[in-house]
Amino acid sequence: MKSVLRLPALTAALFGCALIPPISAIAQTAESNSLASASGSKTGVPNPQITGPIGGGDRNQAFGAIPSRELERAGYQESEYFYGGTARAFINDGPWGVDGVWAAKVADTAPYKVRMLVRRPIDPRRFNGIVIVEWLNVTALVEGAAEYIQTQELLLRDGYAWVGLGVQAAGVNTPRSGLKAWDAARYASLEHPGDHFAWDIYSQGGQALRHPHGIDPLNGLKIDKMIAAGRSQSAAFLIGYINAVHPIAHVYDGYFVHSRVGGTYGFPENVRGIVAANPHIRTDIDVPVFDLQMEGDYVALRSHLARQPDSRHFRLWEVAGGAHSESPRWVIEEPPPLDHSTNCKDPINAAPGHAVVKAALHALVVWVRDGQEPPKAPLLELGDPAAADPILRDKLGNAKGGIRLPEIEVPTASVNGLVNSPAAPPSTAAAPNFCRLFGTTVPFDKDKLAQLYPTHESFVKAFDQAVDAIEHQGFWLKPEADAARKAAAESHIPR
């Protein structure tokens, strides 16, 4: 059916999930070379050694590589580099409270070498000056480009450069799935001392892009602005980075925090025990921070407990009908059958939350580059914050409030971020199953559709009006709005 939107491996990829693999704690013996506090002066970030482009290995390709012909059609190319040096581990210098105003100091140093994956325009004239630096997600114990998956159309059509940094230990060291196991020959030289060093490794990766010494991973592209991005577990790590390390490092010009989690996920074990639950992003930060949350993040990940109001450099958008991960359609109808992903009991979320993700990233770029603030968004309507489902819902089961997708305003299904479950136990005890994060979709039967939309024309008219509204509000961009209008016209609702 033409109303199905295909995003590569969107539901099969488990990179957008929020569980955190265990990591080893380091001794909390702070050395005398403590850094300035979070409110203090800049101290500089070490510039690592770059090697590459990397080739060869048993598989003769980078992990997570996109077929070159696909990128070339968009005028892009992909290269892999290694970078390394000495990384610093940070701990708290005083209490780390809910307000996020955190002072940090160095507790340890260790050698490291990790990788970066670079996708950039072949013709430098196509480069728009913006580099998106993604903290690669390792929830599935591999390095996954969770943010790239949902923003790739925007990045390629508008001339961005994208860089994925593999800054967490699981992506390198995990037996059977990490880089060193996936291709022992190619990645033999990589070395990761643990996630307590991840924040500084992320700073050093950005430093290597902005101020290359020797090899330039961007091949001479002139950076205007560089934006840090992370989704799910990576977003949680970014909270700690923003609050404790950004005031020291000042490497990135803005932050895209996508589907963060509540609690104290995303903090290495050496600091996790002293972090206040559900911390906010500090409001005295000097660069824009964009926090994008799906309703499913509030249900499954309890991040509603960390909700904070907009402020001078902070903007929050919340999406009704969005789940942590999705298998999107512009118009939700059957056939074709809805996606159950990896053995999920109910069909998973089919809302195109990715369209809001693209609009949000674009809005952040305009904010960082031009100083134009993003539009303020309506908040989801919440009930009991302690309830399993804290979101208020209408009689059709859809969320109230928030950014209103056309699929919610003119519904053909109940589409939500409610907890899904496996249809059957996994084949092995160690097999991951992330159904709880995928939300559910319950399509309306033909009688309900006929009641809501007596004719196909009445559905299309109402749907187009909802698309016009969300585009006018700035929560969708024109290419996604045009694709949705086309899908509605070609749909079979209510037939």
* Domain of residue 305, CATH code: 3.40.50.1820
In angstroms, how far apart are the furthest CA atoms of the chain?
74
**3 state SS of 382:** strand
The pLDDT value given to residue 362: 98
Are 435 and 341 in contact, with CB atoms under 8 Å apart? Answer: yes
Other Cβ atoms within 10 Å of 434 Cβ, number: 25
| pLDDT score of 432 | 55
Residue 189 has what pLDDT? Answer: 97
- Residue 20 included in any domain: no
Q: 308-336: per-residue pLDDT in tens?
A: 999 999 999 999 999 999 999 999 998 99
Give residue 427's pLDDT.
55
**118 in any annotated domain:** yes
Contact 331, 488 (CB under 8 A): yes
* Contact yes or no for 39/209 (Cβ under 8 A): no
Low-confidence ranges of the chain (pLDDT < 50): 1-43, 428-431
Residue 219 Ramachandran class (φ > 0 left, ψ -120 to 50 alpha, else beta): left
Number of CB atoms found within 10 A of residue 110's CB: 16
pLDDT at 305: 96
- 370 found inside a domain: yes
Residue 463 lies in a domain: no
Structure tokens at 16: 């957008």
* In-domain check, residue 460: no
Q: What is the pLDDT of residue 206?
A: 98
Alpha-helical segments (H) within 68-197? 68-73, 146-158, 169-173, 179-182
The predicted structure's pLDDT at residue 4: 38
Q: Is 479 exposed, middle or buried (0-12, 13-18, 19+ CB in 10 A)?
A: middle
Per-residue pLDDT of 473-495, as tens digits, reads 999 999 999 999 999 999 999 87
In a domain, 493, yes or no: no
Q: Would you call 492 exposed, middle or buried from its count of C-beta atoms within 10 A (0-12, 13-18, 19+)?
A: middle
pLDDT at res. 279 = 95
Residue 180 lies in a domain: yes
Nearest partner of 229 among 199, 261, 208, 258, judged by Cα = 258
CA gap 24, 374 in Å, rounded: 40
> How many domains would you assign to the chain?
1
- The angle, 0 to 180 degrees and rounded to 10, between the axes of the packed helices 354-370 and 478-490 is 160
The residue segments making up the domain with residue 233 are 49-443
User: Would the CA dihedral through 341, 138, 271, 228 be positive or negative?
Assistant: negative
Question: What's the gap between Cα 201 and its chain centre?
Answer: 19
Report field, pTM of the whole predicted structure over 0.75: yes
241: DSSP letter = I
pLDDT for position 2: 38
> How many whole angstroms from its chain centre is CA 168?
15
Question: Which pLDDT value is given to residue 17?
Answer: 41
Helix, strand or coil, per DSSP, at residue 304 = helix
Whole-number pLDDT of residue 486? 98
Residue 76 belongs to some domain of the structure: yes
